[in-house]
């Protein structure tokens, strides 16, 4: 016999599990690709290579599931061997999930995956693996191409179950900040728009554990000395004398980690103003103004979050707003 309170508790727990009112994981829609499993051989896909001897074939030995998969071979020279298809256009500010099953013939082959001009690179292993990332498309564009390319010379990669679909993601505080020049500043679309760099064994990934607002935030780590950074180029260039307000939320794994938030040009000598970010093991919110002191005219500028001490920090809600003139 079920008591009333047990039923009530059951309903309550179900409500929490379903995320009633709480932030939700990306809601992924329908595959935009035809024949992503290669069961109809290469139907729907075009093939291109600028390498000598490159090929793309649907083979049973390349199947992860079903009867067929794709064997994509890059020959000698050129940039790569690729398969692609045209898909329905996106609208400004949309997020897509790109997912595929990949297996390298030897392991260590480089694969480039992109959708409408935004994408990422992965290195394969000798076993089947799922690669999955979110990409963010800031503007409308005429680019409607979905692409998978092998870019390692004389290398074969096996591909199956390619799935590219729109994803509805949460809006974090940075996404709601008026005049924010940063796209995906709350890391709701994974590392979409952000480029990662590390001098030694660092990593960048997004996780609900690192949420400052919305559903996800960034985990940035550094193995030893040097630095790890994520950087995004801003859509509009800067001018000498302009003043910008920079904001970020940071929480350290231990506290005391060395973190900076900078505007930075995209070439040596990497000039640009910075804010030091004090870090504790609780969430802190930093907001400060910086002035463009260099004699820049229409200089392309990026925003960068960097970790300079061993360990890891959680980062969320990067905001860049021009306050003067």
Cβ-based nearer residue to Ca ion, 30 or 209: 209
Does 186 participate in binding Ca ion (rule CB under 5 A)? yes
Interface residues for Ca ion in 210-239 (CB under 5 A)? 214, 217
CB of 35 to Ca ion, least distance (A): 35
CA distance 198 to 291: 27
According to CB under 5 A, which one of 54, 166, 172, 272 is a site residue for Ca ion?
172
Distances (CA, A) of 81 to 33, 166, 299, 303: 19, 26, 35, 33
Q: What is the 3-state composition of the chain as percent helix, strand, coil, each rounded to the nearest 5?
A: 5, 45, 45
CA distance 143 to 92: 12
Beta bridge partner(s), residue 158: 71, 103
CB of 39 to Ca ion, least distance (A): 38
Binding span for Ca ion by CB under 5 A among 6-14, 29-37, 165-173, 192-200? 165-173
What are the residues whose beta carbons fall under 8 Å from the beta carbon of 136, sequence distance 6 or more? 93, 94, 95, 118, 183, 184, 189, 192, 193
Does 26 participate in binding Ca ion (rule CB under 5 A)? no
Cβ-based nearer residue to Ca ion, 63 or 216: 216
Interface residues for Ca ion in 82-141 (CB under 5 A)? none
Cβ-based nearer residue to Ca ion, 171 or 266: 171
Does 316 participate in binding Ca ion (rule CB under 5 A)? yes
Do the beta carbons of residue 99 and residue 32 sit within 8 Å?
A: no
CA distance 64 to 44: 20
Binding span for Ca ion by CB under 5 A among 95-103, 226-234, 288-296, 310-318? 310-318
For 314-325, b/e burial (b = at least 16 CB within 10 A) is bbbbbbbbbeee
CB of 191 to Ca ion, least distance (A): 12
CA distance 65 to 163: 14
227, two tokens: 């630095």
Does 185 participate in binding Ca ion (rule CB under 5 A)? no
Kindly state the number of chain residues that form the binding site for Ca ion, as judged by CB under 5 A: 6
Does 175 participate in binding Ca ion (rule CB under 5 A)? no
Cβ-based nearer residue to Ca ion, 172 or 190: 172
Cβ-based nearer residue to Ca ion, 110 or 211: 211
Q: Which of 205, 217, 294, 227 is nearest to 249 (CA)?
A: 217
CB of 180 to Ca ion, least distance (A): 13
Interface residues for Ca ion in 247-276 (CB under 5 A)? none
Interacting residue ranges for Ca ion, rule: CB under 5 A = 172, 186-187, 214, 217, 316
């Amino acid at each position: 016999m079920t008591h009333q309170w047990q039923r009530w508790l059951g309903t309550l727990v179900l409500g929490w599990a379903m995320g009633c009112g709480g932030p939700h994981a990306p809601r992924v829609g329908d595959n935009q690709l035809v024949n992503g499993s290669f069961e109809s051989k290469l139907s729907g896909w075009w093939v291109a290579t600028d390498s000598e001897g490159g090929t793309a074939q649907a083979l049973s030995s390349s199947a992860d599931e079903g009867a067929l998969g794709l064997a994509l071979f890059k020959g000698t020279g050129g940039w790569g061997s690729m398969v692609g298809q045209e898909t329905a256009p996106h609208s400004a500010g949309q997020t897509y999930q790109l997912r595929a099953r990949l297996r390298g013939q030897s392991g260590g082959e480089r694969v480039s995956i992109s959708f409408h001009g935004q994408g990422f690179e992965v290195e394969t292993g000798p076993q089947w693996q799922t690669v999955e990332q979110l990409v963010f498309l800031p503007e409308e564009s005429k680019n409607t191409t979905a692409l998978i390319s092998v870019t390692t010379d004389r290398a074969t990669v096996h591909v199956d179950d390619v799935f590219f679909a729109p994803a509805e993601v949460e809006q974090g505080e940075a996404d709601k900040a008026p005049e924010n020049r940063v796209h995906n500043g709350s890391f709701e679309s994974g590392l979409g728009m952000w480029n990662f760099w590390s001098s030694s064994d660092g990593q960048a990934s997004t996780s609900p554990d690192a949420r400052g607002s919305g559903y996800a935030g960034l985990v940035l780590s550094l193995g030893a000395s040097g630095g790890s950074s994520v950087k995004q180029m801003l859509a509009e260039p800067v001018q000498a004398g302009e003043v910008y307000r920079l904001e970020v939320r940071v929480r350290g794994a231990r506290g005391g980690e060395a973190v900076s938030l900078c505007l930075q040009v995209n070439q040596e000598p990497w000039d640009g103003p910075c804010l030091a970010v004090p870090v504790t093991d609780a969430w802190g919110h930093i907001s400060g103004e910086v002035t463009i002191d260099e004699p820049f005219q229409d200089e392309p500028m990026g925003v960068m979050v960097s970790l300079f001490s061993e360990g890891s920090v959680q980062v969320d809600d990067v905001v860049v707003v021009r306050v003067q003139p």
